[in-house]
Every structure is written in structure tokens, then in C-alpha cells.
Homo-oligomer: A and B are copies of this chain.
């Protein structure tokens, strides 16, 4: 028994997350422009809104954690084209790369009051960003299927 075994280091988790982000990017690309902004099921948000939530969380949250400043959750970025979303997505890829590696081992276990609302250890906050992306992207898969579009394979994470 070794319940305190270290599972992975931050570089491995960063690669894992960016692999997921590559897949999410391809799911965005798979949507027809109109459906990205308008299609929904059961009163849910269109996929563009789910993606904008991911964008509002990832980079800003990491910046906030590294800088140690509490910023409010800001979803004011309101693009109207797929190209704008993908451009922002790629910019945030670089922001994530820059800030993620600056979180030290000690800090992953520290509490942080993310967006002044979510007080959890930083490792839990980071896992939440990834889990939330997978959750909403899974919803995007159903939208694509309902539109008769084959989504990318879930296990393909390369760009």
C-alpha cells in the first residue's frame, strides 16, 4: 500500500490538458459556423457558449493563481465567428503553457479562492478546468451526432 504515491508531475498534466485542448479545438472546427452559435438540445447553451466558458476559465485562472490576485470571472468576450474563437483558443494555449509551469509543487496543495468564489486546493481547481472541458465537449459530441456529423475520435489528442 502506498496511498501517497505521486501520480504525475505538472509537465505531464500540462501535456495531458493540451492534448484535450487539441481535441476540443477539432470539435469546434467540426461544427458548421451557424450551428456552432445556434444549435442546441433541451434548452442548453450552443457549443460556442460552452467553449467561451472554457476560454474564460483556463488562461485567466492560471494567471490569477500564479500572480496570486483574485480576479472576477469574466465572460464578456463575445465573438461572432468560428475564426475568432479559434484565434482566441490558440492564444490561450500559449497563456496556459506560460503560466502552468510556474505553479510550484507546494502551491498545488495550497488553497486558492478562484474568481473569489471557488476556494479549493489548486490541484483541484486545475483538475476542475480539465474535467469541465471534457464534460462540455462531450455535450458537443451529442450536438454533432444530432447534426449528422461524425465527431473526432475521443482518444486522438494530437494536433
A-side interface mostly = helix
A3 contacts B7, C-beta separation under 8 Å: no
Determine if A34 is an interface residue (Cβ-Cβ < 8 Å).
no
Contact of A16 among B2, B127, B145 (CB under 8 A): B127
Cross-interface CB contact of A135 among B6, B8, B105, B134, cutoff 8 Å: B134
A15 vs chain B, min Cβ distance (A): 10
Please state if B103 and A5 are interface contacts (CB–CB under 8 Å). Answer: yes
How many Å lie between the Cα of A102 and that of B127 in the bound state?
22
Copies held by the complex: 2
Closest chain-B Cβ to A138's Cβ sits at a distance in Å of: 3
- With beta carbons under 8 angstroms apart, the residue of B126, B141, B155 that contacts A7 is B126
Task: Provide a sorted-by-A list of 9 A–B residue pairs whose CB atoms are within 8 angstroms.
Answer: A1-B102, A7-B7, A7-B108, A12-B123, A42-B144, A42-B146, A43-B145, A128-B155, A134-B134
A residues contacting B by CB (< 8 A) are 1-14, 16, 20, 41-44, 101-105, 108, 123-124, 126-128, 131-132, 134-139, 141-148, 154-155
Additional A-B contacts beyond A138-B141, A142-B142 (14; CB < 8 A): A2-B101, A2-B105, A4-B9, A5-B10, A5-B105, A6-B6, A6-B9, A7-B8, A8-B108, A42-B144, A131-B134, A132-B154, A138-B139, A139-B139
